[in-house]
Amino acid sequence: MTFDGYIRPDAAGFNGHLDSVKYKRESSRSKMSKMSPFSITVYRGFAALPTHTWSPFVNKLETRLRLSGIPYQVKVGSIHEGPKRKIPYIALELDNGGSEMLGDTALISKRLVEVGVFPHELNKDLTPVQKAQDLAIRSLLEDKLSFYLARERWIDNFYTMRDGAMASVPYPVRVLVGHLAYRGVSRSLYGQGTGRFTDDEVRMFKMEIWEHLNILLGEARGSVKGKGSDEPFWILGGEKPTEADTTAYGIIVASLICDA
Protein backbone atom coordinates (compact mmCIF):
# COMPACT_ATOMS: atom_id res chain seq x y z
CA MET A 1 0.00 0.00 0.00
CA THR A 2 1.63 3.17 -1.16
CA PHE A 3 0.34 5.26 1.73
CA ASP A 4 1.61 2.78 4.36
CA GLY A 5 -1.56 3.45 6.33
CA TYR A 6 -0.49 6.99 7.21
CA ILE A 7 -2.80 8.91 4.89
CA ARG A 8 -6.30 7.66 4.24
CA PRO A 9 -7.31 7.57 0.56
CA ASP A 10 -10.51 9.41 1.55
CA ALA A 11 -8.63 12.27 3.20
CA ALA A 12 -10.41 15.54 2.45
CA GLY A 13 -7.48 17.27 0.82
CA PHE A 14 -6.56 14.44 -1.54
CA ASN A 15 -10.03 13.54 -2.80
CA GLY A 16 -11.01 17.19 -3.11
CA HIS A 17 -7.99 17.90 -5.28
CA LEU A 18 -8.77 14.89 -7.48
CA ASP A 19 -12.30 16.18 -7.93
CA SER A 20 -10.94 19.61 -8.86
CA VAL A 21 -8.88 18.35 -11.78
CA LYS A 22 -11.69 16.05 -12.90
CA TYR A 23 -14.07 19.01 -12.82
CA LYS A 24 -11.71 21.09 -14.93
CA ARG A 25 -11.22 18.23 -17.38
CA GLU A 26 -14.96 17.76 -17.84
CA SER A 27 -15.53 21.48 -18.35
CA SER A 28 -12.94 21.59 -21.15
CA ARG A 29 -14.13 18.47 -22.95
CA SER A 30 -15.85 20.47 -25.67
CA LYS A 31 -12.52 22.10 -26.54
CA MET A 32 -10.93 18.71 -27.03
CA SER A 33 -13.12 17.94 -30.00
CA LYS A 34 -12.08 20.98 -32.04
CA MET A 35 -9.71 20.62 -34.95
CA SER A 36 -6.19 21.63 -33.99
CA PRO A 37 -3.24 22.85 -36.08
CA PHE A 38 -0.99 20.32 -34.37
CA SER A 39 -0.86 16.67 -33.38
CA ILE A 40 0.48 15.38 -30.07
CA THR A 41 1.26 11.78 -29.22
CA VAL A 42 2.11 11.02 -25.61
CA TYR A 43 4.32 7.98 -25.09
CA ARG A 44 3.37 6.92 -21.59
CA GLY A 45 4.94 3.50 -21.05
CA PHE A 46 1.51 2.03 -20.37
CA ALA A 47 -1.40 1.02 -22.58
CA ALA A 48 -4.07 3.57 -23.56
CA LEU A 49 -6.37 2.28 -20.84
CA PRO A 50 -6.87 2.91 -18.00
CA THR A 51 -6.98 6.70 -18.17
CA HIS A 52 -4.41 7.13 -15.40
CA THR A 53 -1.16 5.24 -15.00
CA TRP A 54 1.20 4.19 -12.23
CA SER A 55 3.62 6.91 -13.37
CA PRO A 56 3.28 10.27 -11.55
CA PHE A 57 4.96 12.07 -14.44
CA VAL A 58 2.70 10.60 -17.11
CA ASN A 59 -0.32 11.66 -15.07
CA LYS A 60 1.23 15.10 -14.57
CA LEU A 61 1.77 15.65 -18.30
CA GLU A 62 -1.66 14.41 -19.33
CA THR A 63 -3.27 16.58 -16.64
CA ARG A 64 -1.45 19.61 -18.03
CA LEU A 65 -2.80 18.84 -21.50
CA ARG A 66 -6.33 18.33 -20.21
CA LEU A 67 -6.33 21.53 -18.18
CA SER A 68 -5.62 23.43 -21.41
CA GLY A 69 -8.15 21.39 -23.40
CA ILE A 70 -5.45 20.06 -25.72
CA PRO A 71 -6.32 16.92 -27.73
CA TYR A 72 -3.73 14.16 -27.85
CA GLN A 73 -3.32 10.46 -28.48
CA VAL A 74 -1.37 7.95 -26.43
CA LYS A 75 1.02 5.13 -27.27
CA VAL A 76 3.17 2.86 -25.14
CA GLY A 77 6.64 3.91 -26.34
CA SER A 78 9.94 2.95 -24.75
CA ILE A 79 12.49 4.72 -22.54
CA HIS A 80 15.13 3.75 -25.08
CA GLU A 81 13.34 5.74 -27.79
CA GLY A 82 12.66 8.85 -25.71
CA PRO A 83 14.91 11.90 -26.23
CA LYS A 84 15.77 11.94 -22.51
CA ARG A 85 15.61 8.15 -22.21
CA LYS A 86 12.71 8.30 -19.80
CA ILE A 87 8.91 8.16 -19.78
CA PRO A 88 6.88 10.16 -20.71
CA TYR A 89 7.87 11.86 -23.93
CA ILE A 90 5.86 13.26 -26.80
CA ALA A 91 5.90 13.54 -30.58
CA LEU A 92 4.73 16.98 -31.69
CA GLU A 93 3.62 17.49 -35.30
CA LEU A 94 2.84 21.08 -36.38
CA ASP A 95 0.74 22.14 -39.35
CA ASN A 96 3.77 23.83 -40.93
CA GLY A 97 5.39 20.44 -41.37
CA GLY A 98 7.67 20.70 -38.38
CA SER A 99 8.02 17.84 -35.93
CA GLU A 100 9.79 17.37 -32.63
CA MET A 101 10.37 14.65 -30.07
CA LEU A 102 10.29 16.16 -26.58
CA GLY A 103 11.21 14.68 -23.22
CA ASP A 104 10.94 15.72 -19.55
CA THR A 105 7.55 17.03 -18.42
CA ALA A 106 8.82 20.48 -17.41
CA LEU A 107 10.66 20.98 -20.71
CA ILE A 108 7.68 19.66 -22.67
CA SER A 109 5.36 22.21 -21.04
CA LYS A 110 7.80 25.07 -21.71
CA ARG A 111 8.19 24.07 -25.34
CA LEU A 112 4.43 23.76 -25.89
CA VAL A 113 4.04 27.31 -24.59
CA GLU A 114 6.82 28.54 -26.92
CA VAL A 115 5.21 27.07 -30.05
CA GLY A 116 1.72 28.22 -29.09
CA VAL A 117 0.15 24.85 -28.29
CA PHE A 118 -0.45 25.97 -24.71
CA PRO A 119 -2.00 29.45 -24.76
CA HIS A 120 0.02 30.53 -21.72
CA GLU A 121 2.02 29.32 -18.76
CA LEU A 122 -0.09 28.15 -15.84
CA ASN A 123 2.02 30.27 -13.48
CA LYS A 124 1.92 33.49 -15.49
CA ASP A 125 -0.30 35.37 -13.01
CA LEU A 126 1.54 34.31 -9.86
CA THR A 127 3.55 36.74 -7.76
CA PRO A 128 7.28 36.02 -7.34
CA VAL A 129 6.59 34.59 -3.87
CA GLN A 130 3.81 32.34 -5.21
CA LYS A 131 6.09 31.14 -7.99
CA ALA A 132 8.69 30.23 -5.37
CA GLN A 133 6.05 28.35 -3.36
CA ASP A 134 4.88 26.53 -6.48
CA LEU A 135 8.44 25.51 -7.34
CA ALA A 136 9.07 24.35 -3.78
CA ILE A 137 6.01 22.08 -3.86
CA ARG A 138 6.99 20.61 -7.21
CA SER A 139 10.55 20.04 -6.07
CA LEU A 140 9.40 18.33 -2.87
CA LEU A 141 7.19 15.92 -4.77
CA GLU A 142 9.27 15.35 -7.91
CA ASP A 143 12.79 15.42 -6.48
CA LYS A 144 12.14 13.83 -3.09
CA LEU A 145 8.87 11.92 -2.72
CA SER A 146 9.10 10.36 -6.18
CA PHE A 147 12.38 8.66 -5.23
CA TYR A 148 10.86 7.25 -2.04
CA LEU A 149 7.97 5.90 -4.11
CA ALA A 150 10.35 4.43 -6.68
CA ARG A 151 12.08 2.52 -3.89
CA GLU A 152 8.74 1.35 -2.52
CA ARG A 153 7.65 0.07 -5.89
CA TRP A 154 10.77 -1.29 -7.55
CA ILE A 155 12.59 -2.53 -4.45
CA ASP A 156 10.06 -3.26 -1.69
CA ASN A 157 7.30 -4.52 -4.02
CA PHE A 158 9.36 -5.52 -7.02
CA TYR A 159 7.35 -8.43 -8.40
CA THR A 160 4.04 -6.57 -8.28
CA MET A 161 5.61 -3.55 -9.94
CA ARG A 162 7.38 -5.61 -12.57
CA ASP A 163 4.27 -7.50 -13.62
CA GLY A 164 2.14 -4.36 -13.63
CA ALA A 165 4.52 -1.99 -15.40
CA MET A 166 5.66 -4.67 -17.86
CA ALA A 167 2.33 -6.41 -18.40
CA SER A 168 2.66 -6.08 -22.18
CA VAL A 169 6.07 -7.83 -22.19
CA PRO A 170 6.00 -11.65 -22.65
CA TYR A 171 6.77 -13.39 -19.38
CA PRO A 172 10.19 -14.92 -20.13
CA VAL A 173 11.45 -11.59 -21.43
CA ARG A 174 9.76 -9.76 -18.54
CA VAL A 175 11.89 -11.69 -16.04
CA LEU A 176 15.12 -10.60 -17.73
CA VAL A 177 14.04 -7.00 -18.33
CA GLY A 178 12.65 -6.80 -14.81
CA HIS A 179 15.96 -7.95 -13.38
CA LEU A 180 17.79 -5.27 -15.36
CA ALA A 181 15.27 -2.66 -14.19
CA TYR A 182 15.75 -3.72 -10.57
CA ARG A 183 19.52 -3.39 -10.85
CA GLY A 184 19.23 -0.03 -12.58
CA VAL A 185 16.79 1.41 -10.04
CA SER A 186 18.84 0.07 -7.12
CA ARG A 187 21.99 1.66 -8.51
CA SER A 188 20.25 4.97 -9.22
CA LEU A 189 18.62 5.14 -5.78
CA TYR A 190 21.89 4.42 -4.04
CA GLY A 191 23.66 7.11 -6.02
CA GLN A 192 20.82 9.58 -5.38
CA GLY A 193 20.80 8.77 -1.67
CA THR A 194 17.40 7.15 -1.09
CA GLY A 195 18.95 3.70 -1.33
CA ARG A 196 21.20 4.43 1.64
CA PHE A 197 18.34 4.85 4.13
CA THR A 198 16.75 2.10 6.22
CA ASP A 199 13.14 1.07 5.60
CA ASP A 200 12.02 2.87 8.76
CA GLU A 201 13.80 6.06 7.73
CA VAL A 202 12.18 6.10 4.30
CA ARG A 203 8.79 5.37 5.84
CA MET A 204 9.25 8.33 8.20
CA PHE A 205 10.23 10.65 5.34
CA LYS A 206 7.23 9.60 3.25
CA MET A 207 4.82 10.04 6.14
CA GLU A 208 6.12 13.55 6.77
CA ILE A 209 5.62 14.60 3.14
CA TRP A 210 2.15 13.05 2.76
CA GLU A 211 0.92 14.61 5.99
CA HIS A 212 2.10 18.09 5.08
CA LEU A 213 0.78 17.78 1.54
CA ASN A 214 -2.60 16.87 2.97
CA ILE A 215 -2.45 19.93 5.23
CA LEU A 216 -1.73 22.14 2.22
CA LEU A 217 -4.64 20.72 0.26
CA GLY A 218 -6.98 20.91 3.24
CA GLU A 219 -6.10 24.59 3.68
CA ALA A 220 -6.67 25.24 -0.02
CA ARG A 221 -10.01 23.49 0.08
CA GLY A 222 -11.05 25.63 3.02
CA SER A 223 -10.40 28.76 0.97
CA VAL A 224 -13.36 27.97 -1.34
CA LYS A 225 -15.91 27.39 1.43
CA GLY A 226 -19.31 28.79 0.59
CA LYS A 227 -18.68 28.71 -3.16
CA GLY A 228 -20.46 25.41 -3.71
CA SER A 229 -19.47 21.82 -3.07
CA ASP A 230 -18.52 21.19 -6.69
CA GLU A 231 -16.20 24.18 -6.99
CA PRO A 232 -12.62 23.24 -7.85
CA PHE A 233 -9.79 24.33 -5.60
CA TRP A 234 -6.09 24.55 -6.24
CA ILE A 235 -3.09 23.85 -4.07
CA LEU A 236 -1.98 27.49 -3.69
CA GLY A 237 -5.54 28.55 -2.83
CA GLY A 238 -5.96 30.67 -5.96
CA GLU A 239 -8.71 30.83 -8.57
CA LYS A 240 -6.74 28.91 -11.21
CA PRO A 241 -4.51 25.82 -11.29
CA THR A 242 -0.74 26.15 -11.30
CA GLU A 243 2.06 23.79 -12.28
CA ALA A 244 2.13 22.46 -8.71
CA ASP A 245 -1.43 21.18 -9.17
CA THR A 246 -0.40 19.00 -12.10
CA THR A 247 2.47 17.52 -10.09
CA ALA A 248 0.36 16.95 -6.98
CA TYR A 249 -2.48 15.40 -8.94
CA GLY A 250 -0.12 13.16 -10.88
CA ILE A 251 1.64 11.77 -7.84
CA ILE A 252 -1.52 11.36 -5.73
CA VAL A 253 -3.37 9.47 -8.47
CA ALA A 254 -0.39 7.25 -9.23
CA SER A 255 -0.06 6.41 -5.54
CA LEU A 256 -3.77 5.63 -5.15
CA ILE A 257 -4.05 3.32 -8.13
CA CYS A 258 -0.63 1.59 -8.08
CA ASP A 259 -0.76 -1.96 -6.72
CA ALA A 260 2.93 -1.98 -5.80
- What's the first-to-final CA gap in the chain, in angstroms? 7
Higher pLDDT, 49 or 134: 134
User: Do 38 and 94 touch, CB atoms closer than 8 A?
Assistant: yes
- The CA–CA distances, whole Å, from 118 to 74, 110, 113, 126, 175 equal 18, 9, 5, 17, 41
Residue 98, pLDDT above cutoff 90 = no
Domain spanning 13-114, CATH class: alpha beta
Q: Provide the pLDDT for residue 222.
A: 86
Q: Residues 168-184: what's their mean pLDDT?
A: 94
Q: Are strands 73-75 and 38-43 parallel, antiparallel or unpaired?
A: parallel
Residue 28, pLDDT above cutoff 70 = no
The predicted-structure confidence for 186-235, as pLDDT tens digits, reads as follows 999 999 999 999 999 999 999 999 999 999 999 998 887 665 556 789 99
Angle at alpha carbon of residue 85, lines to 81 and 91, rounded to 5°: 50
Closest by CA position to 137, among listed 68, 200, 199, 215:
215
Q: Can you give the residue ranges of every domain in the chain?
A: 13-114, 125-257
pTM here? 0.84
